[in-house]
Amino acid sequence: MAVLAYVAMTQDVLKEGEEKKRIGIYASIASFILFSMIQFRDGPFVRPHPAFWRVVLGINLLYEGAMVFLLFQDVDSARSMMKFLDPSLGKPLPEKSYAENCDLTVQNVWNAIDIFCLAHALGWFGKALILRDYWFCWILSIAFEFAEYSLQHQLANFAECWWDHWILDVLVCNWLGTYLGMKTCQYFEVKHYIWRGFRQTRGIRSKTKRVISQFSPHDWTTFKWEGTASFGHYFTVVLLLAVFLAAELNPFYLKVSALRWCCYVSVMR
C-alpha cells in the first residue's frame, strides 16, 4: 500500500488521460489481489503455499468480473477498453502460412517447426496432467485435427499440410507432451511422500530436495474415466470432449477477431 501511495502522489510526470487511467486500473488490481491474498479462505491446494492459490482465486474473480462487465458493452467499446491495459493493441498480428509447400521433405518439415511446436507439447503435457488418460488424450488430439480440417474455410491458420496435421502435430508434439504428462502422473502416483519440515531436514542436499518438493503436489489421486462403463459415463466423457474442443478453438477465433479489429483501426486512422 505504501508503494501505491508513493506512485499516486508522484505521478505528476505521467501524461494526463489514458496514462493515469491505466495506472489507476493497475493499482486497483494490485490492491484487490493483495486483499485476496490476506483475507480469502484457503482452498484445497496447499503447494507451494496457500497464499499463492488465494492470489490465483483473486485473479480469477477479477477476470470473471471483467467478463461480466464486457458482456454488457458493445463490441467497439469493449475493444477500445483493452487499450487501457495495453496501448500496443491495434496493430496487425503476424501471420504464417502452413500450407504453401506440402512436399514431405526434411527441409519443409524443418521450416514448419516453430515456437508453436513447443506450445503443442507443453499444452498436451498439461492436458495429460488434467485428464490422466491416454485414450482420452489421443481421441481429443485426433478430434482437434478433424476440427481444423472442417474449419479451414473460416480460419486460415487451420490450413496445414497433411504431414503437419498427422505427423508433426499428432505423432510428435502431441504424443510427446502426452507421454511426458502421463509419465509424470505415474511418478506422482508411486512416489513416496515425506512431508517433514525444513528445519527437521538435515544436510544441504536434503534441504534442497525439501525446497523443490514444496512445489510438488501435496498428494495425488489416480482417476479412471471408464467411458463405456455406463451411459452416464459415456455422456459425461463426450460432453467433456466437446468442452475441451470448444476451449481449444476459442483462442483461434479470438485471434481472428483481434486481427479484424486491427485492420479496422488501421483503416480508421
| Whole-number pLDDT of residue 214 | 63
Domain ranges of the chain: 2-85, 106-190+225-268
Q: At 76, which amino acid appears?
A: D
Which cell is 34 given?
493483495
Rg, C-alpha atoms of the chain? 24
Dist CA 35 CA 97 (whole Å): 46
User: Residues in the chain, how many?
Assistant: 269
pLDDT at 92: 65
Q: How far apart are CA 43 and CA 40, in angstroms?
A: 9
**Residues with Cβ within 8 Å of residue 243, at least 6 apart in sequence:** none
DSSP class of 42:
P
Q: What CA–CA distance (Å, rounded) separates 201 from 195?
A: 10
The pTM score is 0.63
Sign of the CA dihedral 153, 157, 161, 162? negative
Q: Which residues of the chain have pLDDT under 50?
A: 195, 259-269
Contacts of residue 198, defined as CB under 8 A and 6 or more positions apart, other chains included, come to: 207, 210, 211
pLDDT at res. 259:
47
The Cα–Cα gap between 20 and 264 comes to 26
* 214: CB partners within 8 A, 6+ apart: 47, 48, 49
pLDDT at residue 108, rounded to an integer: 86
Question: What integer pLDDT is reported at residue 263 of this predicted model?
Answer: 43
CA distance 79 to 256: 13
Which among 197, 229, 235, 190 is positioned nearest to 213, based on CA atoms? 197
Taking the C-alpha atoms of residue 178 and residue 126, their distance in angstroms, rounded to an integer, is 8
Those residues whose C-beta lies under 8 Å from the C-beta of residue 174, and which sit 6 or more positions away, are 120, 121, 124, 137, 141
